[in-house]
Structures are given as C-alpha cells and as structure tokens.
C-alpha cells in the first residue's frame, strides 16, 4: 500500500505530456498481456466456441412448446383450521415445526383458551341468574295475583252485600209504599164513602130535618095564630064578664100574642136555617167532601207514580248492581287468564333465553374442544395457508393472532400431485385443455414427469395484482399421474406444454434470428466470411423456428451476430 501511494504521488508531480506518455506505455503493455493470454486459451475454447456460437441447419422434427414455471401442489390437502363458530380472534400457544412429520391424532396447533373459559363461565353465571330471576318473577306474579284477586273478591263481596242491603231496603220500602198506598186508598175510600153518605143520606136527612123543622115552626105559628085569634075572641067575649075572666082572657091574649111572636121568630129562624143550609152549609160541606175525595185520590195517584218511579229507579240500580257483580266476576276471571298468559309469556321467554344460552354454552364448549387442532392423517405438516398471489405469506408463530376459519396448517396427500403455473397472455390462444405436458425438476434431473393441461382460468389477472404494469397471465393447472417419494409440495418445476409437432422441416434455434428494419435475418458462415441472409420463417416454438426460405440444409448459422460479439 505504501508503494502504491508513492507511485501516485510521483505521478502527480509529472507534467501533462509526461503523464500522456506513461498512459500510452501502460496501454500497450496491457494489450500485449491480453493477447498472450487469449492465444494461450484459444486451443481449449475452440471446440466450445463451435458448439456455443454455430449451428448446422438440418431437416427434422421439433415440437412447438410453451415453457413456463410452476409449483407442485398436492391434489388433496387436509387443511387445519379452527372450525368453531366463534368470531373472536385466536392466539397460537403451541405450534409444531414446519415440515414436521405427525401421526394421526397428534396435536399440530393449539390456541389460547382463557377467553373461552371466561366466556363459558359468564354464560353459566348468566344461566344461573336467569333461573333465579325466573323463579323470582313467578313468585312475584303469584303474590301480585293473590293481592289483585283479594281486592277483586273483596269488591265482589261488597257488591253482593250492597245487593243484599238493596233488596232488604227495597223490601222495607215496598212494604212502606204498600202501607202508604193502603192508607191512601182507605182514606180515599173513606172520603168517597163520606161523600156518598152525605149526598145520599146525610144531606137528605138534614134537608128533611130542616124542612120538617120549618114545617113544624110554620105549624106552630099557625097554631099560635089560631090560639091568638081564639084568645082575642075569648077576650072580646070576656069583656062582658067579670074582671077575673076578663083579666084571664087578657092574659091569654097577651100570652098567645107572645107565642105568635115567638112562633113567627122560630119559623123565620127555621126558614133562615134551611136557606143557610141549602145555600152555604150544604155546598161547603159537599165541596169539602169532594175536595177530600179528590185530594185522597190525587195523593194515591201521586204515591203510585212515585212508587212506579222508585220501582224503575230501583230496577235500574238493581241491574247496575248485577252488572257490577258480573263485571267483578269477569275481572276475576280476566285477572286469572291474564296471570296464566303472563306465566305462559314468562315461561316462553325463559325457555327461549335458556335455549339461547344453552346453545351458546354448547357452542362455546364445542369451540373450546376444538382449540387443539390434531392431525387427521399421518404426513408432513406445512404451516400456513400456502402461497397467495399478490400477498406476503403470513408468518405463523406462538403468539400470532389468527381469525376463525383461517387455515393455519396443511397436511398434503403425497400420493397425487398437480402443477399450478401461469401462462402469459400472449400464449393463451395456443393453449387448450388436454394438451400434453412434460414436467421437470432441477433438483431431480433424472425424473421426467408427464401430464396434461387440466384447467385454464376463464379470465386473466395481473401477475402482481397490486402493480398495474405487471403482465397479465392465466392461472393454469396441470394434472399428472407420476408419483415419486422424493416429490414434495411447493417444489419448483419447469413446464413444457406441447402445442404442436412439426415434421420434416428445416429449422434453426430462435437465437440465430434477429430482426432488422421489419424483416428477419440470420448470419451464415461462408467460405471466407460471414454473410447476412433474409429469412422467411414459419411455425415457431420457444426453442426453434421453422425456416421456409433463406438457408439450406447443411448451412452453418451463427447463434450470435458477429458485429455484436
């Protein structure tokens, strides 16, 4: 290193023309050294150059193929995933190594169970609380029903008591009404009898009595007048007699005169009494009796109307009490039915919730039993869900969170394979289902597998779906019956799809041709130099091209253009 630094410092001290001279000398020395090395190795590389840079045109057969690269995959994979119904995330707690061999029933992946244990405990507690609450609701409904029924029955008893009291009151009132009506009827009958008696008996008797009294007084008057006249005549006759007789006759005249006056007065009084009776006493008494008869009749009618009105009101009230009684009974029945409906509703709700919680508990316990994923078959475990185009494969390890139904491991069936590959869009028109395929693996050069195109995607997609500039490809699967214990899923294989076979034609390798100004050319080794020829091509494969014109069998063509070598 010190020597080189000295040379560099020495070179910097030289002038410009000295530096140029040193550079020319160094270039000449390098050319001489390179020429010597190349001449020494020309003999060894002559045969290789003949093989790598030249090709003799021949007539023969070649296959038109499409080359692609794919990966082996097992036709059947036993996928391991959490098959429970839970939606919460899962955390891996145990995981076998990738490519580990397992036996049937061996644990492959285990998930954390703390969340499920807590959920199971919560559901069991919720079930217990549900049963306790249901029993409390039933007791509460019984107590509420007893209280309501007691109140309704007391109300019914009150109504029945009111009915009894009402009937008793009505019985008393009816008896009183009958008694009053009887009294009024008797009073009316008495008044009518008194009126009839007065009109038919008392009036006539009194009238006759008055008439008889007046007649008697009239008779007494006439008798007194007759006695007075006689006494006057006796007085006139006694004037001629002695004094005693005359005095006696005088006294007799005076007495009879007094009797006449008295009889006249009594007769007048009797006639006045008779007139007063006929004009005043009789009409007034008759009016009083008629009024009394009418009044008692009116009182009786009023009492009858009142009795009828009271009867209507009492019947209405009685019907109202009966309706209240029926309503009270209906309320009791309705309350009992409502209780039964409420109990049915409570039972239905309880059983629905219990069924839901039981299903949830069974589901959680079932999920809990599935937290350990075991190998369904013996084989080799592949951790992960496999290659997903356009996505980075998810790395699974202890503590990784995965979603339910997410594939966490696979155990492929190694008895039968297929190849997943991608066909570029430009070759899609050549590829058909059923074409023969040759499959090779670089790690197993002695193994050549045969297969057929099985499926081709109906729509193209980008090789990298996130890159809009990525070329479009068609996903294709190739089936093969070849089996070998050395084959493993995921191995990279070269796929050669046999599109067509060309027979008895001239052909050259595709690297011998090149385009120039829209035409196809190749370089042919001549006697003294290389000549460029225009070529007409036919069918093409990924390795060879059919030549229709431009070269002949036996011509030697260059695989690389001489001016670019």
Q: Residue holding tokens 């006539």?
A: 204
In the predicted structure, residue 453 carries a pLDDT above the cut 90: yes
449-to-82, 153, 221, 507 alpha-carbon distances in Å: 36, 96, 186, 27
pLDDT tops 50 at residue 3? no
Q: For residue 421, is pLDDT > 60?
A: yes
Q: What does the pLDDT read at residue 233?
A: 84
Report whether pLDDT(50) > 50: no
Percent of the chain with pLDDT over 90: 21
Q: Which of 117, 81, 90 is nearest to 374 (CA)?
A: 81
The DSSP call for residue 559 is: S
DSSP string, 190-248: HHHHHHHHIIIIIHHHHHHHHHHHHHHHHHHHHHHHHHHHHHHHHHHHHTTS-HHHHHH
| Chain centre distance of CA 150 | 40
Q: How confident is the model at residue 454 (pLDDT cuts 50, 70, 90)?
A: very high
Least confident of 37-46, 107-116, 345-354, 517-526: 37-46
Sheet holding 77-81, edge to edge: 77-81, 407-412, 382-383
The answer to whether 383 touches 408, Cβ cutoff 8 Å, is: yes
Query: Is pLDDT at 494 greater than 90 in this prediction?
Result: yes
* For residue 129, pLDDT beyond 90: yes
In the predicted model, is pLDDT for residue 12 greater than 90?
A: no
CA gap 341, 352 in Å, rounded: 16
- Answer whether residue 395 shows pLDDT above 80: yes
Question: Cα separation of 384 and 400, whole Å?
Answer: 12
Task: Pick the range with the lowest mean pLDDT from 20-24, 382-386, 484-488, 535-539.
Answer: 20-24
What is the predicted pLDDT for the residue at 31?
59
Q: Which residues of 520-543 are buried (b: 16+ CB within 10 A; e: fewer)?
A: bbbbbbeeeeeeeeebebebebee
pLDDT at res. 537: 92
Measured between alpha carbons, how far is 182 from 186 in angstroms, rounded to an integer? Answer: 6
The pLDDT of residue 38 is: 42
Q: What gap in Å lies between CA 364 and CA 380, rounded to an integer?
A: 30
Residue 90 has pLDDT above 50, yes or no: yes
| Helix, strand, coil abundance in the chain, percent, nearest 5 | 55, 25, 20
Most confident of 270-274, 333-337, 394-398: 333-337
- CA triple 199-205-210, angle to 5 deg: 115
Mean pLDDT, rounded, for 202-216:
84
CA atoms of 201 and 205, how far apart (whole Å): 6
Beta strands in 389-491 (DSSP E): 401-402, 407-412, 417-424, 436-441, 444-456, 461-462, 472-480
Confidence of residue 42 (pLDDT cuts 50, 70, 90): very low
Identify the weakest region by mean pLDDT among 193-207, 229-243, 522-536.
Answer: 229-243
pLDDT at 136: 92
386: left (phi over 0), alpha (psi -120 to 50) or beta: left
Q: Residue 466: pLDDT above 90? A: no
Residue 99 has pLDDT above 90, yes or no: no
Mean of the per-residue pLDDT values of the chain? 83
Distance CA 197, CA 205 (A): 10
Q: What is the mean pLDDT of residues 272-293?
A: 86
Q: What is the structure's pLDDT at 111?
A: 87
More confident residue, 527 or 131: 131
């Amino acid at each position: 290193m010190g020597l080189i630094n000295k040379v560099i410092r020495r070179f910097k001290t030289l002038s410009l023309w000295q530096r140029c001279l040193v550079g020319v000398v160094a270039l000449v020395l390098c050319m001489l050294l390179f020429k010597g090395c190349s001449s020494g190795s020309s003999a060894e590389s002559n045969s290789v150059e003949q093989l790598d840079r030249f090709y003799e045109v021949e007539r023969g057969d070649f296959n038109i193929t499409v080359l692609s690269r794919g990966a082996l995959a097992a036709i059947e994979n036993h996928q391991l995933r959490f098959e429970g119904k839970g939606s919460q995330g899962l955390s891996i707690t145990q995981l076998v190594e990738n490519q580990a061999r397992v036996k049937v029933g061996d644990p492959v992946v285990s998930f954390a169970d703390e969340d499920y244990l807590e959920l199971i405990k919560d559901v069991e507690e919720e079930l217990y609380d549900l049963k306790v609450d249901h029993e409390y609701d039933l007791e509460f409904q019984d107590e509420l029903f007893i209280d309501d029924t007691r109140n309704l029955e007391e109300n019914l008893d009150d109504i029945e008591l009111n009915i009894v009291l009402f009937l008793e009151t009505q019985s008393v009132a009816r008896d009183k009404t009958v008694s009053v009506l009887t009294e009024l009827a008797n009073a009316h009958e008495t008044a009518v009898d008194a009126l009839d008696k007065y009109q038919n008996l008392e009036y006539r008797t009194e009238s006759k009595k008055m008439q008889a009294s007046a007649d008697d007084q009239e008779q007494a008057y006439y008798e007194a007048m007759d006695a007075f006249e006689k006494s006057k005549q006796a007085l006139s006759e006694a004037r001629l007699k002695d004094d005693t007789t005359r005095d006696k006759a005088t006294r007799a005249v005076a007495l009879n005169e007094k009797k006449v006056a008295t009889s006249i007065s009594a007769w007048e009084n009797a006639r006045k009494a008779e007139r007063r009776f006929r004009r005043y006493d009789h009409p007034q008494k008759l009016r009083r009796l008629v009024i009394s008869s009418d009044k008692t009749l009116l009182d009786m009618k009023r009492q009858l109307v009142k009795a009828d009105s009271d009867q209507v009101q009492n019947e209405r009230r009685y019907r109202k009490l009966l309706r209240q009684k029926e309503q009270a009974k209906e309320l009791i029945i309705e309350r009992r039915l409502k209780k039964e409906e409420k109990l049915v509703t409570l039972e239905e709700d309880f059983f629905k919730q219990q069924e839901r919680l039981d299903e949830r508990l069974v589901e959680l316990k079932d999920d809990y039993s599935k937290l350990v994923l075991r190998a369904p078959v013996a084989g080799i475990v592949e951790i992960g869900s496999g290659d997903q185009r356009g996505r980075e494969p998810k790395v699974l390890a202890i503590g990784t969170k995965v979603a339910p139904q997410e594939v966490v491991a696979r155990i492929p069936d190694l008895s039968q394979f297929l190849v997943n590959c991608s066909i570029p869009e430009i070759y899609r028109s050549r590829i058909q289902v059923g074409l023969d395929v040759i499959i090779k693996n670089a790690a197993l050069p002695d193994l050549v597998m045969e297969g057929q195109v099985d499926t081709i995607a109906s729509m193209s997609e980008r090789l990298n779906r996130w890159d809009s500039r990525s070329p479009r490809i068609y996903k294709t699967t190739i089936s093969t019956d070849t089996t070998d214990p050395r084959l493993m899923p995921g191995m990279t294989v070269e796929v050669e799809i046999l599109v067509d076979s060309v027979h008895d034609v001239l052909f050259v390798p595709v690297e011998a041709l090149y385009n120039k100004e829209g035409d196809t050319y190749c370089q042919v080794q001549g006697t003294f130099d290389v000549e460029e020829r225009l070529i007409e091509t036919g069918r093409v494969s990924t390795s060879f091209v059919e030549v229709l014109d431009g070269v002949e069998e036996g011509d030697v063509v260059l695989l690389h253009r001489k001016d670019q070598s």
